[in-house]
Amino acid sequence: QVQLKETGPGLVQPTQTLSITCTVSGFSLTSYYMQWVRQTPGKGLEWMGFIRSGGSTEYNSEFKSRLSISRDTSKNQVFLKMNSLKTEDTGVYYCARANWELWGQGVMVTVSS
């Protein structure tokens, strides 16, 4: 079955680093781009970036200085890491496949001390 599932810490302190994993099943990461999107109360849905099937990345300049997307194809996992977190980064983080046809359920992240 083709699916995506995000896992993450739930609560992160300001200035710390957020790490989220997207585990995929039913397809290979070497065949599809993987996107990251977030939904925050302040800005709604925002595209964060993607990793291509070949492993190169593209980032939204809004996040570029503090965002990193990587993957482990052997584990069928894609990773999002974002540093210097602020309370405004509180929201739901989603991974999505390629042409946005399939999304995970998202993981809620709260940035608070």
Partner 1 sequence: DIQMTQSPSFLSASVGDRVTINCKASQNINKYLNWYQQKLGEAPKRLIYNTNNLQTGIPSRFSGSGSGTDYTLTISSLQPEDFATYFCLQHNSFPFTFGSGTKLEIK
Token pair of 104, please?
């995970």
Query: Taking contact as CB under 8 A, which single stretch among the options 22-30, 65-73, 77-85, 99-107 is the one that binds partner 1?
Result: 99-107
Residue 34 beta carbon to partner 1: minimum distance, rounded to whole angstroms: 14
d(C-alpha 48, C-alpha 30), whole Å = 20
Cβ closest to partner 1, residue 91 vs residue 104: 104
Residue 7 beta carbon to partner 1: minimum distance, rounded to whole angstroms: 14
99 binds partner 1 (CB under 8 A): yes
Dihedral sign from CA coordinates of 38, 27, 77, 66: negative
Site for partner 1 in 75-94 (CB under 8 A): 94
At residue 73, what is the residue type?
T
45 binds partner 1 (CB under 8 A): yes
Cβ closest to partner 1, residue 14 vs residue 105: 105
Q: Is 71 exposed, middle or buried (0-12, 13-18, 19+ CB in 10 A)?
A: buried
